[in-house]
Structure 1
C-alpha cells in the first residue's frame, strides 16, 4: 500500500496443559511457553509496531506469592525489548547456579513469567494516546484470585458512549473513555457477579472461605460471564482473557470481522490472529489449525478442559476483506491464492487501457504488499499472450515467414521492478515545501527500462486510500522515465467509507474517492445533494443505531465507478508531469470472486456488518461538513 495506514492488532495465546517439568524433560527447557510466545509474536509483528505487551499467570501458587506477571513496551523493537527484559531474569539464574535453569518447580516458585498461561499482544494505535499505558494486556486486579482479569485484543467498539453509560448505571466510574476500558470493566463486573453468586451459594453450606475460593475457581461459568458482558457490544473484535486462577478464553465477534485461529493437542492450546504464525511456531499442518467461529468463545478451564461455546448469536459472516488484500501476511496459503486471483481478475481491464499492446507496455508494482497480486496479474497477462500467439499461429500457419514467426514467439509481457522503496527517511526540516520534497524521495526507480515517449507504464498497488504518496512521490518518479502514459492499478476497489472496527480510516476527507465524488458533484451543479445528505445525517444523529441508514451512499450514487476513477486520476496527477495518468480499480464483484469467504467490504460498499457502522459513517460525514478533524467514534 503506497499510502501507509495503521491497522489491526495481533494476539498470541498459549496454555500449557502439562506441568513445566514435562517441557523441560521433552524439549530440554522450562521456558518452552515463553519461547513459543516470542515466536508467535514475532511472526505477527506486521500487526502492530506501536507497542507490545505480555502477561503470564502461574497456576496453583500458594497465597502470598506473586502469580501474575506483566510487561509492556513502546520501544522501536517492542517484542525484542520485552523478551530481553524477561530473559535477563533467567540469565541471572544461569550465572549464579546453572542447574536451577533445569529445575522447573524452582523457576516457577522464584522467577516471574514462568507461568502456564501466557498472553501476548501487538499494538497499532489507531487513535488517541500512544503511550505504554495504552498497550495491552490490561489488568483488573483484586485480592480474590478468581476476580483478577487480564485481557488483550484486536477490536474496536462503535458504541462506547452506550457501553460507558451502562457502566455508570451499574455504579461504576471508569477512569477513561475508551473501548478497552469499557470491555475490561464490563467483563470484570459480571466476573464479580459470578463470584458473588457462587460465594453466596457455597456459604449456605457452611463452608469456610478458603474452601469456597477453591470451589469458585472450579465452578466459574466463563460462558455465562461472556454472554452477559457482550450483550450490547457493537464492533469487530477478537479478545483474549485470563482469570487470575487460570481459566482463559478467546472470543470472536458475531460477524467474524476480526480473525482468530487456534490449535490444540494434549500438550498445548494456542491461539493467534494469523494462521501461518501457528503453523510456523508449532510446525503443524494447515488442516490442524481451526478458526474460532463467529459469536463463539474458545474456553480453556483451569483443569485443561477445552470447549468452543456460543456467547452471542452469530449473524451473516462478514470477515474483513482488507485482511486478505493487505493486512495479514501473504504467507497464508489461502490469502496467497486470493491475492493472486485479485491480480488475475484485473487483466481484462488493464489490457483495455493499454489497447492490448504488450510490445509497448511495461508492467510493474508498488512494493511491497502488492507483490503477490502482481504475480497473479502477470500470470493473467501470459495467459492472454499465449492465446494471441496460438490464434496467430493457427490462422496464419501457411503464410508465415521466419521473421514473422520469430516476432510472434518473441512477444511477451514486459515485466520489470521499477519502484524501489528506500530505507525509511526521516524529515528533519519543518517547512512544508522542504518536507514535501523529502517525502517525494521515499521511493526510487530503476532507469533505462522504459522507451521514452513510446511505452506505457502499468503499476499495480494493493489499494489507494488518500493518493498522497502517488501524487507526491511515485508518479513524479515514474514520469522521469518518459512513458507516454502511466496506468495505476488498485487490486482493491475504491475506498469510499470509514472503518470503525480497528483500522485507522475514520475521516471522510482522507479518501481520494470521496474527494473525487465531491468535486464531480460541484462541477456538475449538484452541490445541493451534499447539503441534503448532511441534513439527513443530522436528522438521524440521535436515532438508535439500529434505525440509522447510511446516507453517505447518496454522494456516490450519481456516478459510475469509472467516472470517479477518472476524477481520481486528475486529483493525483502532479501538474508538472508529462505523462497521461489513468487509474483502474478492482470491482466489488471481482473482490468477492477472489475472496468468497471474506465478504466484509464496508470500506468499499458502505454495507456495514453492525448497526453502529451506519451511525459512524454519518457522523464522519457530518464532521467533514463541519470542519471537524476528529474520528467519528469514541
Structure 2
C-alpha cells in the first residue's frame, strides 16, 4: 500500500511536527489486550498511521494483530480482540520516523522474535541514530530484515547476544544502540520497560489491581483506571512478572537527563503529567512567559486549536486581553477526504478550521500557536483571519524558532524546509504577512517548564536540539549522509 492510498490522518496539516510513536503494555490482568487497546486509544495523538498489539496466553502462545488506521476503527472489534487472549500484552501506535514512508504492514510494531529461550516482542518509541551502520553490520553477518524500521535492529542484536535470558539480551542489544528509545517489551512471563540513558522519550509505570502497566504517558493510565506510580528513570530497566514483582536495574552508564522539551510544548496530551508537572499547566505558563516577553496592544487573544489553547489562555490572563474562540476546529474531519479532489485540496486548512467571523470582525487579534515549521498553515490562517475582517493579526508562538531537524523520533522536514533555518524573525514576519511575530525565548520556555533560572547553557536540562542545534547524541547516520552539525561556538 502506498502513501497515496493511505495518507496521514489529517492530510492538510503539513505545518506540524509529527508525534513519533506511543507504547503501552500490561501484565497480570484478564484480557490484557483489551486494556492495551484502550491505552493505545489514549495515545492516538502520538501516531495515527497504524497500530499493533501482541498478547501471550499459555494455552494459545503469542498472537498478534497489526492494522493501518485508528485504534477505534480496528481494535474495538470483538472478533479481532478474541484472537488476542492472555494476561500479558503490549501495543504500539505509529507515525513513521525511520524506514520507508510508504505504508507497509511489515513496518508496524510490535516486532516479534523467537529465541532459544522463548519468544519476545518489542515496541519502540524513539529513533536509533546509528541504525544504518548497525543494519549493514547485521546483514553482513547473516541477519535477514523483514522491515525498513530502525527498531528491528534491536531484535537482531538480541538474537546475536550470548546472554542466557531475554532481559539480559535486551541490555546487550541496547548498549549498541545510539539515539533515543523508550521500549516496552514482553516475554512469555514478563513485561519489560527500558528508557535510554538520556531519557529523551517518556515512559511511565502504573498499577491496575494486581497488575501493572507501562505507558508513554499518564493519560493512557487514566483511561484504564490505573494508578500512576512513577516515571521510569533515564537509563532504567524494569522487569515485571505476572505475580507482581518489579525488578529495577540501571544497566547503562549514567548521564545527565535530556528529556525532550517539545513534549511539554506539543507532543504530550495536556492531561498528562511530566516530571511531576501538569502538561496543561506548563503550556499555560508558556503563554504567561510569552505575554511578558512579547506584549502587544490588541483586542482579542485567540488560540490556533487545539494545541495552542493553553498557551493562549495563559497569554490572555497575563496580558489582561480577553480570550475568545476566534477559530473553531472541525473535530470530525478525520479521514473523510481519503482521496480529495484538487478543488478540495485548494480549500486547504479551511477543511479543519473555520473563523468565528462575528467575534473577529474589526478586532486586533493575537493568534497563539505552538510552533511554526514550514509556515504554510500559518499563512493560510492569517488570510482567513483577515478575510473575516480583522484589523490586525499578531502571531505569538509558544516555542522558540524550529531551526533544526529532530533525529530522536520526530518526523521533521529537512533543515532547508524549516522556515526558521533560512529566515530571521523579522523576515518570517514579512513572509507570513502579519503585523508582528514573536517566539518565546529558550530561557522563557525553560522557565515555563519549571527551571526558574532558565536554560543552563553549559549543561542543558532538556533536549532542545530542534531549537538550539545542540544534539546530545551525534546523529551518525545523518552525518554520513551529509548533514552539517552546528559549528561550535
Per the normalisation by structure 2, the TM-score is: 0.85
| CA apart distance, 1:340 | 0.8
Partner of 1:227: 171
Q: CA–CA distance in 1 between the matches of 2:193 and 2:471?
A: 24
Are 1:468 and 2:376 matched, yes or no?
A: yes
Q: Where do 5+ consecutive residues of structure 1 fail to align?
A: 17-22, 24-29, 90-111, 196-219, 355-359, 383-412, 517-563, 574-579, 624-634
Partner of 2:353: 443
Are 1:325 and 2:250 matched, yes or no?
A: no
Is the CA contact 1:279–1:289 (under 8 Å) kept in the aligned structure 2? no
Is the CA contact 1:498–1:617 (under 8 Å) kept in the aligned structure 2? no
Write out aligned runs for 1:180-259 (5 A).
180-190=151-161, 193-195=162-164, 220=165, 222=167, 224-243=168-187, 245-259=188-202
Q: CA–CA distance in 2 between the matches of 1:416 and 1:174?
A: 52
Runs of 4+ in 1 over 6 A off after TM superposition: none
Partner of 1:371: 309
Distance of aligned partners of 1:228 and 1:505 in 2 relative to their CA distance in 1, 3 Å threshold: same
| CA apart distance, 1:302 | 6.3
Q: CA–CA distance in 2 between the matches of 1:449 and 1:617?
A: 50
Distance of aligned partners of 1:617 and 1:339 in 2 relative to their CA distance in 1, 3 Å threshold: farther
Distance of aligned partners of 1:269 and 1:337 in 2 relative to their CA distance in 1, 3 Å threshold: same
Distance of aligned partners of 1:507 and 1:617 in 2 relative to their CA distance in 1, 3 Å threshold: farther
Write out aligned runs for 1:59-74 (5 A).
59=58, 61=59, 66-74=60-68
Partner of 2:113: 140
2:465 to 599, 602, 606: 602
Aligned length: 454
Report the 3-state secondary structure (helix = DSSP H, G, I; strand = E; otherwise coil) of the residue aligned with 2:259.
Answer: coil
Are 1:567 and 2:427 matched, yes or no?
A: yes
Q: CA–CA distance in 2 between the matches of 1:175 and 1:133?
A: 7
Report the 3-state secondary structure (helix = DSSP H, G, I; strand = E; otherwise coil) of the residue aligned with 2:40.
Answer: helix
Is the CA contact 2:50–2:93 (under 8 Å) kept in the aligned structure 1? yes
1:6 to 6, 18, 30: 18
Is the CA contact 1:164–1:177 (under 8 Å) kept in the aligned structure 2? no
Distance of aligned partners of 1:69 and 1:464 in 2 relative to their CA distance in 1, 3 Å threshold: same
In terms of Rg, which structure is larger?
1
Distance of aligned partners of 1:477 and 1:310 in 2 relative to their CA distance in 1, 3 Å threshold: same
| CA apart distance, 1:178 | 3.3
Partner of 1:56: 55
| CA apart distance, 1:429 | 3.0
Q: CA–CA distance in 2 between the matches of 1:131 and 1:85?
A: 25
Distance of aligned partners of 1:55 and 1:451 in 2 relative to their CA distance in 1, 3 Å threshold: closer
Distance of aligned partners of 1:617 and 1:584 in 2 relative to their CA distance in 1, 3 Å threshold: farther
Q: CA–CA distance in 2 between the matches of 1:268 and 1:11?
A: 17
Report the 3-state secondary structure (helix = DSSP H, G, I; strand = E; otherwise coil) of the residue aligned with 2:151.
Answer: helix
If each structure's helix is expressed as a fraction of its own residues, which one has the higher value? Answer: 1
Partner of 1:380: 318
**Cα deviation per residue 1:56-105 (whole Å; 9 max; x = unaligned)?**
1124x4xxxx411101111x43344134154674xxxxxxxxxxxxxxxx
Is the CA contact 2:361–2:391 (under 8 Å) kept in the aligned structure 1? no
Partner of 2:38: 39
Q: CA–CA distance in 1 between the matches of 2:139 and 2:51?
A: 30
Is the CA contact 2:157–2:173 (under 8 Å) kept in the aligned structure 1? yes
When structure 1 is superposed on structure 2, of 120-129 and 230-239 the one drifting more is 120-129
Is the CA contact 1:154–1:238 (under 8 Å) kept in the aligned structure 2? yes
Report the 3-state secondary structure (helix = DSSP H, G, I; strand = E; otherwise coil) of the residue aligned with 1:230.
Answer: helix
Report the 3-state secondary structure (helix = DSSP H, G, I; strand = E; otherwise coil) of the residue aligned with 1:466.
Answer: coil
2:103 to 122, 125, 130: 130
Are 1:414 and 2:408 matched, yes or no?
A: no
**Cα deviation per residue 1:115-146 (whole Å; 9 max; x = unaligned)?**
1211111111235231222111111235x5x2
Partner of 2:455: none
Q: CA–CA distance in 2 between the matches of 1:87 and 1:311?
A: 38
**Cα deviation per residue 1:498-533 (whole Å; 9 max; x = unaligned)?**
0111111041122111131xxxxxxxxxxxxxxxxx
| CA apart distance, 1:281 | 1.7
Are 1:456 and 2:364 matched, yes or no?
A: yes
Per the normalisation by structure 1, the TM-score is: 0.67
Distance of aligned partners of 1:264 and 1:586 in 2 relative to their CA distance in 1, 3 Å threshold: same
Distance of aligned partners of 1:265 and 1:467 in 2 relative to their CA distance in 1, 3 Å threshold: closer
Distance of aligned partners of 1:484 and 1:140 in 2 relative to their CA distance in 1, 3 Å threshold: same
Distance of aligned partners of 1:608 and 1:264 in 2 relative to their CA distance in 1, 3 Å threshold: same
Write out aligned runs for 1:250-269 (5 A).
250-264=193-207, 267-269=210-212
Distance of aligned partners of 1:176 and 1:429 in 2 relative to their CA distance in 1, 3 Å threshold: closer
**Cα deviation per residue 1:587-634 (whole Å; 9 max; x = unaligned)?**
000111111476221100111121227x737956569xxxxxxxxxxx
Q: Where do 5+ consecutive residues of structure 2 fail to align?
A: 1-12, 452-460
Is the CA contact 2:75–2:81 (under 8 Å) kept in the aligned structure 1? no
**Cα deviation per residue 1:522-567 (whole Å; 9 max; x = unaligned)?**
xxxxxxxxxxxxxxxxxxxxxxxxxxxxxxxxxxxxxxxxxx1111
Partner of 2:27: 15
When structure 1 is superposed on structure 2, of 317-326 and 117-126 the one drifting more is 117-126
Q: CA–CA distance in 2 between the matches of 1:82 and 1:313?
A: 39
Q: CA–CA distance in 1 between the matches of 2:40 and 2:282?
A: 24
CA RMSD of aligned residues (A): 2.7
Is the CA contact 2:290–2:440 (under 8 Å) kept in the aligned structure 1? yes
| CA apart distance, 1:442 | 4.0
